[in-house]
Amino acid sequence: MSTPQASTKPVSAASAPNIDSMLKEKRIFKPSAAFAKASRIGSMKKYKKLHRASLKNPDKFWGKAAEELTWAKPWKKVCVWKPPFAEWFVGGKINASVNCLDRHLTGPLRNKAALIWEGEPGEVVTLTYQQLHREVCLMANVLKKHGVEAGDRVVVYLPMIPEAVIAMLACARIGAPHSVVFSGYSAEALKERVNDCGAKIIITSDGGFRRGSALGIKRNVDEALLGTPKVKSVLVVQRTKQEVIMHPGRDFWLHEETQLVSSKCPAQPFDSEHPLFILYTSGSTGKPKGILHTTAGYLLGCHLTTKYLFDLKPEDVYFCTADVGWITGHSYVAYGVLSNGGTSLLYEGVPNHPEPDRFWRLIDKHKVNIFYTAPTAIRSFIKWGDEWLAPHDLSSLRLLGSVGEPINPEAWMWYHDKVGNKRCPIVDTWWQTETGCHMIAPFPGATPLKPGSATLPFFGIDAAVVDDDGNEVPVNQGGKLVIRRPWPSMLRTIYGDAARYRKTYWSEIKGCYFAGDGARRDKDGYFWIVGRIDDVLNVAGHRLGTSEVESAIVSHPDVAEAAVVGRPDELKGQAVVAFVTLKNGVLHSKALKDALRAHVGKEIGPIAKPDDIRFTDMLPKTRSGKIMRRLLKEVAASPNGEIKGDTTTLEDLGILAKLQKSED
């Protein structure tokens, strides 16, 4: 196995880029012989050989891989790299919707379920590839009827209903880049994104079902549109049948519009580098960044990673719990699954409606084989209690996935034992909106798993952990996670702001893409993400990643979730403040605080013992479930708990008031 090289240059204390890594995980889980035999990459020998070859001759590797896609015209050159701008499969022409739909219509897949959708109230709709193709063609023709041409941006503001996937593919079919905005975002957030990408049309719905009631969605569009001069039409899906105001000449019911158009819509071929979509990511501060992905490279990344890392087979029912408003919903609800001819299960609502066993019910009812969710959800399941799983048959599951944050080893073990019944490999996937597809993740039939590690890079991905000068840091030392060469599904730019693209991703470490995350590699070369670099704690000269301290706290049996931040401290530089959520039924106490401090001391070392522990019922999270440590830092540092930072991406605004009162 390739181990990272030791840094050749001594690191000066002044730059002190390294992160001390103290948490050691010893458990290892190898794939079963049966799983390995049935999967595409069945041994480490095969993985290593292919990974080595892919780095030795990337053009050959990617060129060969791209033959798996259906092209209207073959490419001339695999990659043109003018740092930091890349073009892939130059000269080729392709259509993403053809790859997800049309190419499956000539064989037996045509009558197979492409999407199975369950609404929160419980109704189920299944669309075969033929049916989905028809719906996509109808919606594409409606867009054309409303004057949408190749290159025009279309904002999609929909709940998790089939139309969300249909809209993306309809846009792809006619070359109109989509920009999906999460339907839980406010009118203000929608307005900002619509204006930034200059969309002239929005696809939305009257509402959606969430937590048992019909939420209004169209009304946010009405409010946003008071400040979006370019928008000419709004197409409205009827989902809840609640009352909405339709502005004559601007707003149209989609089900009426589809009656007026043909169901034939031949797909146009587009250049490989034709923009496929813009997806806004909020980042920790400042204006949201419009991450731009283009057609062929993005599609190839989604296609290959779904095939090899999820080991997706046509007979699988695959359930990814992410909303289409996030990159995971783009790459692994829609594009990657459909380009492989898979069956994607979509669910509209929340995991605890009507009761906290909804996902287990869905898995049992639809016989899900592959289940992909986030550590934040897993920690909620643990908090809600194991009794919610017991009545359900989860034996159809054969593979589990995790994404979005480092998964704490204890949450990993729970997922493995309770959901996977110790049978299913867990594919912990490290990647980002910007990377388009998985970058570091295990091959489920080959890679021995270590709880909490995303393991090793995918084919063609040259990932490393480096110091500020770009030298690889020694084994088990933390540093900055970088990718040292371009890959097909990488973002091409930040929409309308190439300078920000260059500065954010390509200026930190010379010649490398810097992901913003801290990581270390162990003696086997495995990657361990230790958290965002901006969140690293500096305690008495030791730099500690948030994830290790949090994992140590979460490994205490009474704890459900923890977030750790630094508070300025005259003596130590930073003091460690931990916000801790306890499992249902556990009471706050001084004794428990002492026990937790002692526990961290034992797991990591005295340096990481929290100076302050505050119990709270909830942690502040973004809508995609990431803990907002930035806000916690403010709460921890200000004597009266005042918060001045931007809170617009916070899921539950009420939580700040609660945190300010959190018991300390």
**What is the Cα–Cα distance from 310 to 340, expressed in whole angstroms?**
11
- Strands 612-615 and 573-582, by their bridges, are parallel
The binder of ligand WTA chosen from 234, 304, 327, 464 (CB under 6 A): 327
Q: Does 305 bind ligand WTA (CB under 6 A)?
A: no
Helix (H) or strand (E) holding 377, with range, is helix 375-384
Q: Please provide the DSSP assignment of 5-19 as one string.
A: PPPSSPPPTTT---B
In terms of CB distance, is 137 or 426 closer to ligand WTA? Answer: 426
* 576 close to 564: Cβ distance less than 8 angstroms: yes
Closest distance to ligand WTA from the beta carbon of 297 (Å): 17
Nearest Cα to Cα of residue 445 among 418, 427, 419: 427
Closest distance to ligand WTA from the beta carbon of 434 (Å): 7
Cis peptide before 269 (omega within 30 of 0): no
Residues 538 to 577: which contact ligand WTA by CB under 6 A? none
CB atoms inside a 10 Å sphere around CB 315: 9
470 — phi, psi (to 5°)? Answer: 90, 10
**What is the Cα–Cα distance from 112 to 130, expressed in whole angstroms?**
8
Residues 596 to 625: which contact ligand WTA by CB under 6 A? 624
Closest distance to ligand WTA from the beta carbon of 495 (Å): 15
Closest distance to ligand WTA from the beta carbon of 564 (Å): 15
- Binding segment toward ligand WTA, per CB under 6 A, in 87-95, 423-431, 495-503, 592-600: 423-431
In terms of CB distance, is 235 or 322 closer to ligand WTA? Answer: 322
In terms of CB distance, is 208 or 401 closer to ligand WTA? Answer: 401
Cis peptide before 354 (omega within 30 of 0): yes
- Binding segment toward ligand WTA, per CB under 6 A, in 22-30, 100-108, 515-523, 638-646: 515-523
The binder of ligand WTA chosen from 328, 343, 489, 662 (CB under 6 A): 328
Closest distance to ligand WTA from the beta carbon of 402 (Å): 6
Return the half-sphere exposure (C-beta side, CA atoms, 13 A cut-off) of residue 565: 21
**What is the Cα–Cα distance from 578 to 586, expressed in whole angstroms?**
17
Closest distance to ligand WTA from the beta carbon of 654 (Å): 24
- Binding segment toward ligand WTA, per CB under 6 A, in 128-136, 323-331, 535-543, 548-556: 323-331
Q: Does 478 bind ligand WTA (CB under 6 A)?
A: no
Q: Does 432 bind ligand WTA (CB under 6 A)?
A: yes
The binder of ligand WTA chosen from 336, 406, 425, 625 (CB under 6 A): 406
* 306 close to 341: Cβ distance less than 8 angstroms: no
CB atoms inside a 10 Å sphere around CB 350: 14
Q: How many amino acids of this chain bind ligand WTA (CB under 6 A)? A: 22
Q: Does 405 bind ligand WTA (CB under 6 A)?
A: yes
- Binding segment toward ligand WTA, per CB under 6 A, in 217-225, 379-387, 425-433, 575-583: 425-433
The binder of ligand WTA chosen from 51, 274, 492, 532 (CB under 6 A): 532
Beta bridge partners of 493: 292
The binder of ligand WTA chosen from 88, 298, 381, 431 (CB under 6 A): 431
Q: Does 508 bind ligand WTA (CB under 6 A)?
A: no
Q: Does 456 bind ligand WTA (CB under 6 A)?
A: no
Q: Does 403 bind ligand WTA (CB under 6 A)?
A: yes
Supply 285's token pair.
Answer: 């501060």
Amino acid at 313: K
322 — phi, psi (to 5°)? Answer: -75, 150
Closest distance to ligand WTA from the beta carbon of 576 (Å): 20
Closest distance to ligand WTA from the beta carbon of 552 (Å): 16
240 — phi, psi (to 5°)? Answer: -100, -15
Q: Does 444 bind ligand WTA (CB under 6 A)?
A: no
**What is the Cα–Cα distance from 452 to 450, expressed in whole angstroms?**
6
Q: Does 515 bind ligand WTA (CB under 6 A)?
A: yes
Give me the sign of the Cα torsion angle 125, 129, 135, 139.
positive
Supply 49's token pair.
Answer: 């050989």
Residues 198 to 257: which contact ligand WTA by CB under 6 A? none
In terms of CB distance, is 446 or 529 closer to ligand WTA? Answer: 529
Q: Does 325 bind ligand WTA (CB under 6 A)?
A: no
Closest distance to ligand WTA from the beta carbon of 375 (Å): 8
**What is the Cα–Cα distance from 415 to 379, expressed in whole angstroms?**
9
In terms of CB distance, is 257 or 517 closer to ligand WTA? Answer: 517
Each as own residue / partner, the long-range contacts of residues 222-226 (CB below 8 Å, 24 or more positions apart, any chain) are 222/247, 223/187, 223/191, 224/187, 224/188, 224/190, 224/191, 224/194, 225/191, 225/250
The binder of ligand WTA chosen from 342, 404, 442, 566 (CB under 6 A): 404
Q: Does 177 bind ligand WTA (CB under 6 A)?
A: no
Nearest Cα to Cα of residue 576 among 517, 616, 535: 535
Cβ-closest position to ligand WTA: 433
DSSP character at residue 91: T
**What is the Cα–Cα distance from 171 to 177, expressed in whole angstroms?**
6
The binder of ligand WTA chosen from 428, 508, 535, 548 (CB under 6 A): 428
The binder of ligand WTA chosen from 71, 88, 381, 430 (CB under 6 A): 430
Residues 383 to 402: which contact ligand WTA by CB under 6 A? 402
In terms of CB distance, is 132 or 529 closer to ligand WTA? Answer: 529
Question: CB within 8 A of 26, min separation 6: which ones?
Answer: none
Using CB under 6 A as the criterion, which residues of the chain lie in contact with ligand WTA when the complex forms?
281, 326-328, 402-406, 428-433, 454, 515-517, 529, 532, 624
